[in-house]
C-alpha cells in the first residue's frame, strides 16, 4: 500500500500554522478557507507570504468559479469542497503532489 502522508498535523490558529510550516516544512498543507489570519489578507495570501514554497489545498464551501479562481490565483494548488472532502481528498492530494492543480470539474471557472 502506498503511503500518502508521513505525518498529519492539525492547528487551530495562525501562530501554530506559521510554526508548523516553518519548522516541519510540509510538502502539502490542507487549509480551511475560513481559517482566521491577521491583517485581513485571507489564508491563501497569508500562506503565499509566509510559506512561499509550500503547496496548499484550500478547503471551502463556496463552489462559485470566482471563489475557486481567486484561491488558485492567490497561490493555492487546489480547491476542495468541504462536502466532497471524504470522497475527493486522496485524488486532490495525489493531483497536487504530481505538480498539477486540483479543481473539481463542477467548480472550474
* Among 74, 24, 1, CA closest to 10: 24
Least confident of 25-39, 53-67, 87-101: 25-39
Query: Based on the number of CB atoms within 10 Å of its own CB, is 63 exposed (0-12), middle (13-18) or buried (19 or more)?
Result: middle
Long-range interactions of 9-13: CB distance < 8 A, separation 24+:
none
Place of cell 493555492: 76
Beta bridge partners of 55: 28
Rounded to 5 degrees, what are φ and ψ at 51?
Answer: -145, 65
Total count of domains within the chain: 1
Instruction: Return mean pLDDT, the chain.
Output: 82
* Distance in angstroms (rounded) separating the CA atoms of residues 20 and 10: 9
pLDDT, position 1: 55
Provide the domain limits for residue 96.
26-107
Q: Is the full-model pTM beyond 0.85?
A: no
Residue 35, domain CATH: 3.40.50.2300
| For the chain, percent of residues with pLDDT exceeding 70 | 88
Within a domain: residue 40? yes
Q: Which of 26, 12, 36 is nearest to 57 (CA)?
A: 26
Whether residue 35 is predicted with pLDDT greater than 90 in this model: the reply is no
What is the tens place of the pLDDT at every residue in 60-88? 888 888 888 888 888 899 999 999 888 99
Residue 103 inside a domain? The answer is: yes
In a domain, 97, yes or no: yes
Q: Is residue 6 part of a domain?
A: no
Q: Is residue 14 part of a domain?
A: no
Q: Are 97 and 28 in contact (CB under 8 A)?
A: yes
Residue 20 counted as domain residue: no
Amino acid at each position: 500500500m502506498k503511503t500518502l502522508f508521513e505525518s498529519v498535523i492539525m492547528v487551530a490558529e495562525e501562530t501554530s500554522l506559521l510554526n508548523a510550516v516553518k519548522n516541519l516544512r510540509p510538502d502539502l498543507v490542507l487549509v480551511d478557507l475560513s481559517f482566521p489570519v491577521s491583517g485581513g489578507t485571507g489564508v491563501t495570501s497569508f500562506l503565499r507570504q509566509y510559506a512561499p514554497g509550500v503547496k496548499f489545498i484550500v478547503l471551502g464551501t463556496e463552489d462559485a468559479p470566482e471563489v475557486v479562481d481567486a484561491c488558485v490565483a492567490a497561490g493555492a494548488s487546489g480547491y476542495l469542497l468541504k462536502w466532497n472532502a471524504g470522497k475527493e481528498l486522496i485524488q486532490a492530494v495525489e493531483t497536487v503532489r504530481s505538480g498539477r492543480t486540483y479543481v473539481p470539474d463542477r467548480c472550474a471557472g
